Amino acid sequence: MFTADRPIYRQIRDVIVDRILTLGDGAMLPSVRALAAEAGVNPLTVAKAYQDLQTGGLVRARKGVGLFAADGAVAELLAQERHSFLNDEWPRVQARIARLGLDVGDLLERERA
C-alpha cells in the first residue's frame, strides 16, 4: 500500500485528504486507532498525519466526539492541489506532450471522443 518515496505519515495524510475531498466539510473522520488499524500502521504515524492537518486548519478535534473536516477544508485542499499540479506536475505533462509531438487540438479531439 505504501511506497518508499515519501514518509508514511505523508501518505496517510493523503488518504485523509482524499476522504475530506470525498466526504466534504464537517464530515466526521476515522479515529486515529481506526485508521491505524485500517492502514496497518502505528497509531503514532496516523496521529502525526492528523496533527499536520490540524496545524494547517484542515481538521478539527472535538473533545470526546472525534475528528472532523474543518469548514472550508475542501476549498483550501482543492486550492493546494491545483497549485501543486500547476507547479509540480503540469510542467512534466507539457514536456511529455511536446516529446510526443501532440498539440492542443489533438488533446481536445481525444477529449471529445
CATH fold of the domain at 8-71: Arc Repressor Mutant, subunit A (1.10.10)
Single-letter amino acid code for the residue at 1: M
Number of Cβ within 10 Å of residue 108's Cβ equals 10
Question: pLDDT for 56-107, tens place per residue?
Answer: 999 999 999 999 999 999 999 999 999 999 999 999 988 998 999 988 788 8
Quick one: DSSP state of residue 6?
S
Give the domain ranges of the chain. 8-71, 74-112
**pTM of the predicted structure, to 2 decimals:** 0.79
Segment (H or E) for 71: none
